[in-house]
Amino acid sequence: MSGYKDEEDIKRDAEKMVEVQDLWFSYNKEKWALKGINMELIRGEKTVLLGSNGSGKTTLLLHLNGILIPDKGRIKVSGNYLSYTKKALTEVRKRVGIVFQNPDDQIVAPIVFQDVALGPVNLRLSDGEVKNRVKRALNELNIEELSDRKAHELSEGEKKKVAIAGVLAMEPEILVLDEPTSGLDPQSSEDLITIIDSMYKQNDNMAVLVATHNVELAYEWADRVIVLSEGEIVKSGKPYEVLGDEKVIKSGRLAMPRVLRIYKGIEMAACENPGVPPRSVEELLKVMKGNLRQ
């Protein structure tokens, strides 16, 4: 390789919102939970972090806003290396919003609007601004009608949305969601993803990172997929490059997305390669119809 970067690389460098460099971490000094992670989040990109239970997804996410401190390695947010003073951490946590895996851990105030206001109030914003932000966040998630409800009475899906609104009200540039669809029925999961999508389209300066073990979601939705296994990144890249790779699927203890599996079957039978593989059932059906007509 020659020493110069092509245009896309240069642009990518400029748009890096988070950079993780050779991150090592262990909870108990017996076993590494993360072993030399290198990763970046790009402005305007939707990244999905895929990994089976215990692979280290949550541990990695908790490093992005300085809740956990690496044993080795560094993290850069918006061009600055994280430092762990109280003031610097507040700044970072304003930029990096994390929605936790279990909404019950995150929702602490009794009334929905009160919980959504928690972040802004602690950022010492003016009363008017707090109110605006609460309104906007509830609006973006389409849950204005939940505003006055008691938080503990909500359904699991509603709780997830409230938890997201609480983070959104802090207006982060980098939105990190840990297992947003776990525990939701298929329809609610889809709704939630649609909402995250539209939210992300409205704020084109955002980077979104979703940790999950849902390969279907990763394949259909992500701009970039990172597969994590036992604290190490197995592969990262475009959804098809990563999830179409049998070896990656196997070492990540994942399953290949259904659309891709079927498509690969057809591709083999038809013995030809019609270009970009389909990402959703609809696209797959289109390809199949095309093949049948030939």
Partner 1 sequence: MHFDHTLEGYTVSNKFVNIRTGEKMFFSIFTLFIAVYTQSPFLLLLILFTMSSITIWSGVRIKHYVEMLMIPLSFLLPSIFVLAFLRGSEPVLTFSLLGMHLAMMREGLELGALLMMRSMAGISCLFFLIMTTPIAEILDTMKKFRIPGIVVELSFMVYKLIFVLIEEMESTKIAQYARLGYLRGNRIKSLSLLLSSMLVRSLEKAQNMEMALEARCYAGKMPSLKFGRETESESKVHVISPSLILIILFDACLLVMAVEGGV
Ligand X SMILES: Nc1ncnc2c1ncn2[C@@H]1O[C@H](COP(=O)(O)OP(=O)(O)OP(=O)(O)O)[C@@H](O)[C@H]1O
Among the listed ranges 103-111, 189-197, 225-233, 251-259, the one in contact with partner 1 (CB under 8 A) is 103-111
* 133 to 162: interface string for partner 1, x by CB under 8 A: -x------------xx-x-xx---------
Among 55, 58, 65, 236, binds Mg ion (CB under 5 A): 58
Q: Is 58 in the site for ligand X (CB under 6 A)?
A: yes
The tokens for 62 are 């908790």
Question: Is residue 191 packed enough to be buried (19+ CB in 10 Å), middle (13-18) or exposed (0-12)?
Answer: middle
Q: Is 108 in the site for partner 1 (CB under 8 A)?
A: yes
Q: Is 180 in the site for ligand X (CB under 6 A)?
A: no
* Beta carbons within 10 angstroms of residue 190's beta carbon: 13
Half-sphere exposure of 274 (CA within 13 A, CB side): 19
Residue 33, contacted partner among Mg ion, partner 1, ligand X, none, CB below 5-8 A by kind? ligand X
Q: Which residue lies nearest Mg ion, judged by its C-beta?
A: 58
Question: Is residue 208 packed enough to be buried (19+ CB in 10 Å), middle (13-18) or exposed (0-12)?
Answer: buried
CA distances from 168 to 97, 99, 199, 210 (A): 7, 9, 10, 15
Among 22, 38, 54, 255, binds ligand X (CB under 6 A): 54
- Tokens 């696209």 belong to residue: 283
Whether residue 285 contacts residue 258, with contact meaning beta carbons closer than 8 Å, is answered with no
Q: What is the side-by-side strand order in the sheet with 46-50?
A: 96-99, 174-178, 207-212, 46-50, 224-229, 232-237
Total residues found in the chain within this entry: 294
Residue 166, contacted partner among Mg ion, ligand X, partner 1, none, CB below 5-8 A by kind? partner 1
Residue 130, contacted partner among ligand X, partner 1, Mg ion, none, CB below 5-8 A by kind? partner 1
Whether residue 46 contacts residue 223, with contact meaning beta carbons closer than 8 Å, is answered with yes
Among the listed ranges 55-63, 92-100, 111-119, 184-192, the one in contact with Mg ion (CB under 5 A) is 55-63
Query: Which amino acid, one-letter code, is at 188?
Result: S
Count of residues binding partner 1 (CB under 8 A)? 38
- The least CB distance from residue 101 to ligand X, in Å, is 6
Q: Is 53 in the site for ligand X (CB under 6 A)?
A: yes
Q: Which residues bind partner 1 (CB under 8 A)?
A: 62, 65, 67, 90, 93-94, 97-98, 100, 102, 105-106, 108-111, 113-115, 117-123, 127, 130-131, 134, 147-148, 150, 152-153, 166-167, 170
